[in-house]
Amino acid sequence: MEHLPLLEAVDLTKRYEDGALAVDNISFSVHPGEIFAMLGGNGAGKTTTINIFLNFLEPTSGEARIAGIPTHVEPLKAKKHVAFVSENVMLYTNFTALQNLDYFVRLGGKTHYTKDDYRTVLLRVGLQDEAHDKKLREFSKGMRQKCGIAIAILKDAPAILLDEPTSGLDPKSGFEFMQLLESLRNEGKAILMSTHDIFRAKESADTIGIMRQGHLVMQKKRSELSGEDLEKLYMNYMAGINE
Amino acid sequence: MLKLIIEKELRDIIGSTKFAITFSICSVLILLSFYIGVKNYQIAQSQYEASKRANVRQYEGITDWVRVHEYKIFLPPQPLATLVNGISNDIGRTIEVRGRGELRSEDSRYGDDPIFAMFRFLDLDFIFSIVLSLFAILFGYDLINGEKERGTLRLTFSNAVPRGYYVVAKFVGSFLALAVPLLIPILAGILFLPVFNIALTSDEWFKLFLIIVAGMLSIGAFLSLSLSVSAKTERSSTSFLVLLSLWIMTVMIIPRLSVIGADLFVDVPSLDEINSQKSRFMSQVWNEDREKMSAFSPPKTDNMQEVMTAFNKFMQDLADEREKKFNELAARLNEDRMNRQAEQQQLALFFSGISPSALFSLSASEATGTSLRLEQHYLSQAKNYQQQYAAFMKEKTGMNTGGFSMVFRMVSDDNAEKPKPINISELPQFEFAPLSAISGIGYYAGYTGILAAFNLLFFAGAFISFKYYDVR
């Protein structure tokens, strides 16, 4: 029996007050144990889609659902089922990594963790022991991203939204990050990730969607892409050749 | 969740440089204001005692109560008036009491030491209304938009956090963080008082409590205003500029403009004008009386004592009549001036009611009994004392001293026993009853009520603004 989708966009449209159409009638779904990578250039509508899932924006029409809950109708209920990692994870610089974890994890509704649990997860995401008690102001972007993913892991939500999470990371950190995502996928998480990184998307994603000017112009399973040159395909879509 | 965000807010602020600076400045200023207040109180107390002694000493050796004039009463220093000066340094502390006539207070602290009038004293009023209101803005200007700029707002609201909870927690957390650097030095300052042998009465403790409550409400108003502006603007630099302008308006400009505005609307005759009218009237009455005096015909008798008694009675009757006429005019002029002044004050207070810092000053001065009512209260007590004084002097001299009179003492026997010096301590003592906290509680409640309303209004503004705030 196929699982119900944890993340679902149904005829989702977002038109801003100035008339700009950011997302135009897109539909897709992400099931448990699946990574959905949204590729696209700047202004393609990827971040807007994620913002609608997080109820930072209200859809003009259609729905974004988390665990079947329309986010603009019951945002607080929906957000209990999702964790979020942004392009540039920003945490409280006066706090240590552990203090930040403690705050955001408890904010996410998980209050049973011990400091050891936090340390274990920080080690799992690749943040070494000596950094755990350091204030965030001393952290590099990569280290902050690791903290962000640690928070998402500890929230233990069935769905994860990632907005260009590997942007600005060095290749090694990017690789480790994607390995971590794969392990989360294997634990049954539904992951929706916006990215510019075609190479990593091809490596890890189960489904790839290409967005252009608010449209989801392509959506294919990895199996459907075998043998295809994703980079060329992407460039063609970006140039409007395949439409 | 509320507790969690409040704790985070507290920890975030307490760990910041901003907090360390605020705490240091507040501690220094508050402890300094207590120290200066205590020292001023001690100086004022010793001056008060010295003046009382000098007042009594001037009558040493006097053998006749008729020669007692220029008797002075003094406004005793109040411990809390040194913490919230109000108008206590602006009004005269000394009143020369006569058996009749108008009373005027003289020798104000600022009159004696004009340099202090130039820069005023460092008291809790200054600290709360100027320094802490500014700190409240520094704590609050980036409460919302600062989180957005730092990028933490997105991560926070990716969780199931109700916006209402967040605004409440932001306010409570930053309020508590601001209250700490305030209350700790105040408590330390209070502990100083017994060290300097200053014991507060239960009424004064209550007054101190009322000052702190008003101070908290004032800080709350500035903090909620800052939260509101922060939730309405995208950039912290914008909110800081807006709030700084509002701070200048509410702290520096509105209180002054309200007085100028009230002065434009209500014309109050100056004391000089009134005194000039009184002088004119008095000289007119004097002229009339002089004619009556020249028409005085003594009883046809050889008994000089009888002549003098008749003359004194004649002069006393003239003085009584003159005083009656003068008092009627003075009462009318004074009442008119007081009514207009009261109207002007009410209008000025009404205008200044839109400034939280002015409201704090008004409530704190009401709590400590150093409000505008202090001068009238002192004069009213002095007038009551004047009646006791007049009754006593009449008993001692057979007349109401204070007007013009001539006294002849006839000594018939050089060998008679010399008269004994009077005992000035027989004079009734002037006991000043300070304005109690309860006497001003109505005004205090009014001012703090408006402050509380400002808190609610600004907070509601923040709440509504944040409901529609773009957290991305």
Is pLDDT of B410 > 60?
Answer: no
pLDDT in tens, A133-189: 999 988 888 888 889 989 999 999 999 999 988 877 778 888 888 888 899 999 999
Do A90 and B8 lie within an 8 Å CB cutoff? no
- Answer yes or no: are the C-beta atoms of A195 and A39 closer than 8 Å: yes
Could you give the CA distance from residue B144 to residue B158 in angstroms, rounded to a whole number? 16
The pLDDT assigned to B401 comes to 66
Chain B residues near any Cβ of chain A (below 8 Å):
1, 4-5, 8, 11-12, 15-16, 150-152, 154-162, 470-472
**CA distance, residue B160 to nearest chain A CA (Å):** 4
Do A104 and B159 lie within an 8 Å CB cutoff? yes
**CA distance, residue A227 to nearest chain B CA (Å):** 38
Exposure letters B239-254 (e unless 16+ CB within 10 A, then b): bbebbeebbeebbeeb
Do B11 and A108 lie within an 8 Å CB cutoff? no
Could you give the CA distance from residue B89 to residue B108 in angstroms, rounded to a whole number? 6
pLDDT in tens, B3-27: 999 999 998 888 888 889 988 998 9
Quote the percentage of chain B above a pLDDT of 70.
96
The pLDDT assigned to A1 comes to 41
Question: How much is the pTM?
Answer: 0.84
Is pLDDT of A238 > 80?
Answer: no
**What DSSP string describes B214-254?**
HHHHHHHHHHHHHHHHHTT-S-HHHHHHHHHHHHIIIIIIH
The pLDDT assigned to A243 comes to 56
- Answer yes or no: are the C-beta atoms of A54 and A79 closer than 8 Å: yes
Do A107 and B1 lie within an 8 Å CB cutoff? yes
- Answer yes or no: are the C-beta atoms of B13 and B19 closer than 8 Å: yes
The pLDDT assigned to B59 comes to 83
- Please report the ipTM that was assigned to this predicted complex: 0.91
**CA distance, residue A106 to nearest chain B CA (Å):** 8
Cα-Cα-Cα-Cα dihedral sign, residues B93, B98, B103, B104: negative
Do B158 and A54 lie within an 8 Å CB cutoff? yes
- Residue in A57, A77, A79 closest to B159 by CB: A79
Average pLDDT over residues B345-369: 91
Computed over every residue of chain A, the mean pLDDT equals 88
The pLDDT assigned to B425 comes to 82
pLDDT band at residue B362 under the 50/70/90 scheme: very high
C-beta neighbour count of A191 within 10 angstroms:
28
E strands, chain A, where? 7-15, 21-30, 34-40, 61-66, 69-70, 82-85, 159-163, 190-195, 207-212, 215-221
- Residue in A56, A79, A94 closest to B15 by CB: A94
On whether any CB of chain B is under 8 Å from the CB of A16, the answer is no
- Residue in B150, B151, B157 closest to A56 by CB: B157
Do B4 and A161 lie within an 8 Å CB cutoff? no
Q: By three-state DSSP, how is residue B293 classified?
A: helix
Tokens of A98: 């552990």
Computed over every residue of chain B, the mean pLDDT equals 87
Average pLDDT over residues B119-127: 83
On whether any CB of chain B is under 8 Å from the CB of A80, the answer is yes
Do B160 and A84 lie within an 8 Å CB cutoff? no
**CA distance, residue A81 to nearest chain B CA (Å):** 9
The pLDDT assigned to B415 comes to 64
Total residues belonging to chain A: 243
- Residue in B11, B152, B471 closest to A56 by CB: B471
